[in-house]
Chain A
Amino acid sequence: MSIEDLTNLPSELITMAHGSGGKATRKLIEDIFTSAFQPDGLEDQARLSNTALNAPGVQLALTTDSFVVDPIEFPGGDIGKISVCGTVNDLAVGGAQPLWLSAAFILEEGCEIALLRRIVASMSKEAYLAGVRIVTGDTKVVGRGYADKVFITTSGVGIIPPQRRLNSENIRPGDVVIVNGVLGNHGATILASRDNLALSTNLVSDCASLGHLMEAALNAAPDLRTARDLTRGGLASALNEITHDTAFGIEIEEELVPLHQEVSGICEILGLDPLYLANEGRLVLFVPEDQAESTLKAMRSIEVGKGSRVIGRVVANHPGVVTIKTMYGGNRIVDTHIGEQLPRIC
């Protein structure tokens, strides 16, 4: 069988030949990746220039993240979209303007090429929306069973303008805590998309890039303290991470935490706490109280920030501890979770 035959198999599956470094590899890269991402050159190296880099005080931000998700396509997104959003958001919440991404793929032998095409198209679209370019990448193929269809690692480079220094050390008691919309939609969507629970919902993942939202918030709140994107572990983990080893605590209110009715439904059925559900397009911001209104206004002017609202505030009372006030006036500690939340019957 010739290489041409291999790459034109009727079912169009990834074979080991696609990882051989030979003709099949090149054809795959040209057909699928470079045609979608259109990097400047075809060398193994992106050469980047940007006039902003010349300004004094500018810092470069670099981040990297690996993405595995089951199922690989789900309502509201797929692994490709997440791999762009996740890295863009890591840069954005650090105060960086995301500019360039690299993308490395580990493909499982037998993965459908049509699936790969859809994933790459969705990366390309999301990169366009987020205003970043995917400038370099890599592909490897592993034998069947050694990966789950597609794993993606993206790295991102952004620039942090002079004088912009987001840091949790800036947080002061009295600051307000803002989120940009309903929580847990991504985690609940993924759970419901898995066949084993046999649940049907109309939920879609919140998966989205937050670069523009962060810029809007930063412009509206000159003293914005810090931000975190809410990924696995949800709001609870992000808040705990921020208060860890600090001189302040956080108090949020159950009544103010926005949840989609179906997310509440899934949590009731499976006995999960929505505060720990994963998100892929949500962030938490800390701003001084007097800048809260203007921040909210700016955030709400952007699609992904329409649901922005204050959910609580920073306090000096209980350093390192996050609490939530229930609707009945009782309080409980929102702790870091031990491992993944498991569906329960008790």
Chain B
Amino acid sequence: MCLGIPGKIIAINDANLLMATVDISGVTREVNISCVASKPLEKLIGSYALIHVGFAMALIDEHEANRTLEILKNFGMASEMLQGTQNVNLADKHQEDLGEHHEIR
């Protein structure tokens, strides 16, 4: 349950009503920031929050995110030594197509 997606807080629109604009992959929407208003509001600008049904529900902790990614990276280095490279598929064959359009996700 509970579709949530990271969005970047880009502006505080109303400090009294605790409304802010977030950017999610280039799409913007006004959200309520009551649940993350634990520090001075201007300090929220630039932070990422987990957005659910129009509310910023939690600030995303960059340090923790990096720590998780670091663990994953270590897995990678360990398994690469064991396994070597990945299997080849159609995706690789058309890799040249992928590179040339900046619009691609």
Contact = CB atoms under 8 A, between A and B. Distances in A.
Given a CB threshold of 8 Å, the question of whether A touches B is answered with: yes
Interface of A: 182, 192, 197-202, 253, 255-256, 258-262, 264-266, 268-269, 271, 306-307, 309-310, 312-313, 325, 344-346
Interface residues of B, number: 24
A312 B90 CA distance: 8
B3 A198 contact: no
Contacts of A269: 5, 24, 27, 29, 51
Contacts of B27: 192, 199-201, 262, 265-266, 269
Given A192-B27, A269-B27, A345-B53, A258 B101 contact: yes
B25 A265 contact: yes
Interface of B: 1-3, 5, 24-30, 51-53, 89-91, 94, 97-98, 101, 103-105
B55 to A, nearest CB: 11
B25 A256 contact: no
A253 B97 CA distance: 13
Contacts of B98: 255-256
Given A256-B97, A256-B98, A258-B101, A345 B2 contact: yes
Main secondary structure of the interface of A (DSSP, over half): mixed
Given A199-B29, A265-B27, A269-B27, A309 B105 contact: no
Contact of A346 (B2, B25, B28, B105): B2
A268 B2 contact: no
Contacts of A201: 26-28
Contacts of B51: 269
A312 B51 CA distance: 34
Contacts of B90: 253, 256, 312-313
B94 A261 contact: no
26 contacts: A200-B28, A201-B26, A253-B91, A256-B90, A256-B97, A258-B101, A260-B105, A264-B25, A266-B27, A268-B3, A268-B5, A268-B25, A269-B29, A269-B51, A271-B3, A306-B101, A307-B101, A309-B94, A309-B97, A309-B101, A310-B94, A310-B97, A345-B1, A345-B52, A345-B53, A346-B2
A346 B26 contact: no
Contact of B24 (A253, A265, A309, A313): A265
A261 B26 contact: yes
Given A264-B25, A345-B3, A346-B3, 4 more contacts: A268-B24, A306-B101, A345-B2, A345-B53
A284 to B, nearest CB: 15
Contacts of B24: 265, 268-269
A255 B98 CA distance: 9
Contacts of A256: 90-91, 94, 97-98
B1 A264 contact: no
B100 to A, nearest CB: 9
Contact of A255 (B25, B91, B103): B91
Nearest to A264: B105
A261 to B, nearest CB: 5
B1 to A, nearest CB: 5
Contacts of A346: 1-3
A111 B68 CA distance: 57
Contact of A307 (B3, B25, B53, B103): B103
Contacts of A261: 25-26, 103, 105
A198 B5 contact: no
